[in-house]
Amino acid sequence: MEIKLTVNAQLVTVEVEANLLLSALLRDRLRLTGTHVACDTSQCGACTVLVDGASAKSCTLLAAEAAGSSVVTIEGLAADGALHPMQQAFHEQHGLQCGFCTPGMVMSAVDLVAVNPDPSEAEIRAWLKGNICRCTGYQNIVKAIRAGAAALRSA
């Protein structure tokens, strides 16, 4: 079936099988490999993207379900060669180690601050329950999200 969706502000028309996952469309067909796949069961959050502004786990969302939607991946956050404030905050606050979970964490954080521009540490930790990091212990991730939220509020 043919679907149309907007990916990182570009209209895409693509032929997909009914069972093709959004993560596979993004990674394999569109070569947007910043969307990571680890668990395939919606547990880890590495595949998180924004669909119509809300975070969604692309490994359990069919591409056909995203037809007509606007999808933003980690590659779509930066603008004019400058990192998005949340990406910059993760860099400055050392909110990553191996980096595998980072795209999903950043995308979840962007959604969080859109919903709650000034989240507390407890609210951040609760929001991230669907994102797993095996390296950092989350302390610097939380600091990064607080710093990113502050940067977005002042922008």
The CATH number of whichever domain residue 33 belongs to comes to: 3.10.20.30
The predicted structure's pLDDT at residue 42: 78
From the list 52, 64, 70, the residue with the least C-alpha distance to 24 is 64
Domain that residue 63 falls in: 2-76
Same domain membership, residue 45 and residue 108: no
73-123, pLDDT tens digit by residue? 999 999 988 999 999 999 999 998 888 889 999 999 999 999 999 999 999
pTM recorded for the entire structure: 0.94
DSSP-assigned letters across all residues of 47-100:
TEEEETTEEEEGGGSBGGGGTT-EEE-GGGT-BTTB--HHHHHHHHTT--SS-S
Spatial distance between the Cα atoms of 34 and 30, rounded to a whole number of angstroms: 11
Axis crossing angle, helix 139-154 with helix 85-92, rounded to the nearest 10: 140
Rounded to the nearest angstrom, the gap between the alpha carbon of residue 147 and the centroid of all alpha carbons in its chain is: 17
CATH assignment at residue 135 = 1.10.150.120
